[in-house]
Structure 1
Amino acid sequence: MSTKKYLVIRSHESEFPSPITFQKGDFLTVGEEYEGAESWDNWLFCSTSGQEPGWVPGQVIERFGGSSGRALDDYTARELNVLEGELLVGTRSLNG
């Protein structure tokens, strides 16, 4: 497993207290693909039972056609609360 170190240059506190979270094998309803000025490619708006909907990287979704899909991996859209100067270790990066 490849890791990278990141230095936090600006503090951040998440504004999303209940991000979409699911486990490998969970069924998903797949909606629109993100389109915006940020050019974030391959992000899909998804929902699953008991969760608030949210944006999910396309690589963790097996599509069945239409709006049906299944999670290929565990995933959470939880944002980190960080302080300037903290050092983070990243183990996986998807779509920026």
Structure 2
Amino acid sequence: MTKLIAITGHKSNYPNPIEFFNGDKVTLGALDTEFSGWIRVTTDNGNVGWAPVQYIDFDVGSPVGTAIQDYNARELDTIVGEIVILIRELNEWSLVRNENGLVGWVPTKTINPM
């Protein structure tokens, strides 16, 4: 269990995060230019957001991909000094759990090991 401390607060800009499940079809958009390894997708319910390219099977240039893993883009709001537990790190983002049990993604650059 890796404990981390927030060195910069993070506030989500996405109040309605995308979610998809293994086998779901998603419409593909542009690759992220700020964070490598993320692609803009639209889910079957019309929700738009960023997803890890590793979670989607697609041919380059194809407008549609298939999810190969469940994914939820929920971000976790944090404040400076907050302690979180690392679940996984992927493409410059970290999936963490706070002391209240809430789970979400934060930019890895906003947290440091304790």
TM-score by length of 1: 0.81
**Does 2:78 align with 1:82?**
yes
- Unaligned runs of 5+ residues in structure 1 are none
Which of 7, 18, 21 is the matching residue for 1:20?
Answer: 18
Structure 1: 4+ residue segments shifted above 4 A: none
> In the alignment, residue 77 of structure 2 is paired with which amino acid?
N
Within-5 A mapping of 1:1-96: 3-35=1-33, 38=34, 40-64=35-59, 66-96=62-92
Q: Which residue is equivalent to 2:102?
A: none
Q: CA RMSD in A?
A: 1.7
TM-score by length of 2: 0.70
- Unaligned runs of 5+ residues in structure 2 are 93-114
Q: How far is 1:18 from its partner?
A: 0.2
Query: Comparing both structures, which one devotes a greater share of its residues to strand?
Result: 2
CA contact (8 A) 1:21 1:51 kept: no
Q: How far is 1:16 from its partner?
A: 1.5
| 2: CA distance, partners of 1:51 / 1:4 | 36
Q: How far is 1:15 from its partner?
A: 2.7
Report which structure shows greater RCO (CA 8 Å, sep ≥6): 1
- The number of residues matched between the two structures is 91
| 2: CA distance, partners of 1:32 / 1:73 | 20
